[in-house]
Structure formats: C-alpha cells, structure tokens
Amino acid sequence: MSWSFKIGSIAGTAVRIHVTFVLFLAWIFVAGFTQNGADAAWSALAFMILLFLCVLAHEFGHIFTARSFGVPTPDVTLLPIGGVARLARIPEAPGEELLIAIAGPLVNVAIALILMVIAGADLGAGRLAAIDSTQVSMVDRLAAVNLFIAAFNMIPAFPMDGGRVLRAALATKLGHIRATEIAATIGQWLAFALGFFGLLYNPILIFIAIFVYLAAASEAQVVALRAISRGVPVRAAMMTQFATLTADEHIDAAIETLLRTSQNEFPVVDDAHRLIGLLGRNEMIRALKTQGPHARVGDAMNTDVPTISHRQCLDEAFRILREKSAAAVGVVDASERLVGLVTSETIGEMLMVSNALPAGARVGPLSRPANA
C-alpha cells in the first residue's frame, strides 16, 4: 500500500503504518491537549495506541488462521479506520474462509473477556455508552471498545468480516459466485444507509460508507471476473487488432495514430515485433506538451509492461492487470513476438457480454448454462 512505511514484523508478516494513521494519532494528541491539557492528551494517545494494538491482534487472528490453511500473508497495514491484513488469496473452500473471517472478531472477544476476568473491567450499561469519556477507567473502555470492534466487524456485509462469514455460509448452498453477489449487494445497501445517517449526523460516516461501497463492488467484480475468465485461454479474448508504434517514431506520428484509432494504449514493438514498451494516451499528450512534436516515442513510453504467454488463461492476465495496476498486459508467443493485448476494456467487455448472455447461449469464450 502506498503512503505507508514498515515499523517491524511479527512472525514473518510485515507491520506497516499508513501516513494518515500517524496524522490521526497526532490529531488525537493535539485535540486532547487543547481541550483538557497535557495529562489528558497523553492518556488519550495511550488509549488510541492500546486500541490499535487490539486492532493489530484482530488482524493477526486472520493472519495466523490463514497461514494454517497455507495462505501467504505478506503484510498488515494500520489505517485510521482499522487494520488491513493482506492475504495472497482468499480460499474458496467455505469452511476455510469462515474460520479466517471469524478469527479476527474472536480475538477481540477474547481480549474483552481477559480484561474482565483478570483486570476486573466493568461493562455496566452506562459505561458502554461512555467509551470516549475520561470518567471511565482505561481498562473498562478498552474492554468495551473490543466488544464494539467484534460486533462492528460481524455486520454481515462486505468488506466486514461478517460479510465473509455470510458469504461462506451461503456458499455451501449457492456456490461462491452467487454467495458473493448477495453479500456484496447487502454491503452496498449498508453503505447507502451509512451514508444517509452520515449526512444527518456525522460526516465521518460518509467516508466509511464510500469505503464500504467500493470494497463491496470490487469484491463482487473480482469474483465475477474470475468466474467468467477461469479456464478461458487468453487467445480467445485478447485484442488482436490494434495499432503499434516503434521507438524511433515521433510523437506527432503517434498522435496521428491515436486520432485514427479508438485505442488508448499503444504497444511499442521492435523490428522483430517484440514488445518493448507501452505508450498511453495521457503520456503521449504529456510528451507533446513538454517535449514537443518531435520527441521520440521510445523516450516517452513506459518500459515496464507485463507480458504473458499466449498459452496461459485469461484469469491470469486479469490477475496481473489488477495486482500490477498495469494499463495493459501483452500476450506473446513462444518467440516473444507480440500477438495480443489484454486491457481493462477487455475486462469491461467480458463483464457486459456475460451479463447480457441469454441462458444456453454461447458467444466466443463465454457461455451461460441453460438452467442458470
């Protein structure tokens, strides 16, 4: 994740802190200081740090469970809205996903229980409502806030843990894709409700709502794409009709090509038709503006273009596009010659076609079973 830095690692998983999280802690301190003086500021800061240690423990609940199923867990990032543990993949076996999802909230329940039994935390009704009051002891507040984290995360909507629990439960009967669609739809309705309450009561809720909405939408899209692209040879869906540029061409010639095609991304090839770079519309315009019409394409292009073999599957191309945030993936044959291109437009078209396909029909690599 950009704008974050590593502060250490626990059992081989890097712990990263996002810049906004540091700003958030500074803001807590300054706000406490101006309102109630130095003592209150230090105690507010200490509470926030303890709270985020609990969030970190929650994330490691997910991480250790995921690892027991063989899922690599490279890092965890702390943000002001909580922690994000990165899992290399989400297991599709419903039982495994369920255990990984529920492990986080269970850690918080365990922390609350330990605080109550060992440190004598008191969770009387009045105290739960006074989490941000300095009248209540830190142990009580910490126990209450851990129960709150557990309950909030069990809301049955993506991207909350409860959404994953719900999907896993539905997936045993309905399959992974349908279960994801339902959990994502609930997540998006929840986001609307949150946004509405945010408008009325608290603007911070609007930001959380946007985050929930986008996370739910992207989860649904990733799963739908994986479903329609799995096992489809990349040859069957890649673009094969596109203009290419050469490194020695000038930007003015490239812009003529831009104007007479509908492409936004132009592969740059050498004499043997091997892919050596990619020039997007925006970079082309920028080069024209800063270096003039006689700049070389080779100087303006991006040389870090991922490629895959034409024998691989489409879901692999989509995975590379997503993980590298690349504009395009070049498809190359055995002698490294460029034979096709997969871009985000390919993704959009695949999704549109598969949504519009009547039952029992087949178009190119896409088909829909007659009973679905």
Which residues of this protein are in contact with Zn ion, per CB under 5 A?
104, 153, 161
Residue 195 backbone zone (phi > 0: left; psi -120 to 50: alpha; other: beta): alpha
Tokens standing for residue 324:
């590298």
Nearest residue by C-beta to Zn ion? 104
Under 8 Å between Cβ of 333 and 339:
yes
Report the nearest approach of Zn ion to the CB of residue 225 (Å): 24
Alpha-carbon span 350 to 262, nearest angstrom: 18
Alpha-carbon span 162 to 144, nearest angstrom: 19
Active site residue: 59, 96, 219, 283, which one? 59
Closer residue to Zn ion in complex, CB, 78/288:
78
Report the nearest approach of Zn ion to the CB of residue 12 (Å): 20
Run of H or E including 29:
helix 19-36
Closer residue to Zn ion in complex, CB, 82/280:
82
Closer residue to Zn ion in complex, CB, 91/306:
91
Which phi and psi angles does 223 have, rounded to 5°?
A: -70, -40
Tokens 């990032």 belong to residue: 77
Report the nearest approach of Zn ion to the CB of residue 98 (Å): 13
Which phi and psi angles does 271 have, rounded to 5°?
A: -60, -30
Classified as helix, coil or strand, 199 is: helix
Under 8 Å between Cβ of 271 and 262:
no
- Is residue 59 flagged as an active site residue? yes
Report the nearest approach of Zn ion to the CB of residue 138 (Å): 23
Closer residue to Zn ion in complex, CB, 87/119:
87
Neighbours of 79 (CB within 10 A): 20
Tokens standing for residue 256:
């003529």
User: Residues near 161 by Cβ (< 8 Å), separated by ≥ 6?
Assistant: 62, 101, 102, 104, 105, 153, 154
Closer residue to Zn ion in complex, CB, 94/104:
104
Closer residue to Zn ion in complex, CB, 104/280:
104
Under 8 Å between Cβ of 105 and 78:
no
Report the nearest approach of Zn ion to the CB of residue 54 (Å): 12
* CA-based nearest residue to 33, from 24, 42, 25: 42
Report the nearest approach of Zn ion to the CB of residue 153 (Å): 5
Classified as helix, coil or strand, 122 is: coil
Which residues are marked as active site?
A: 59
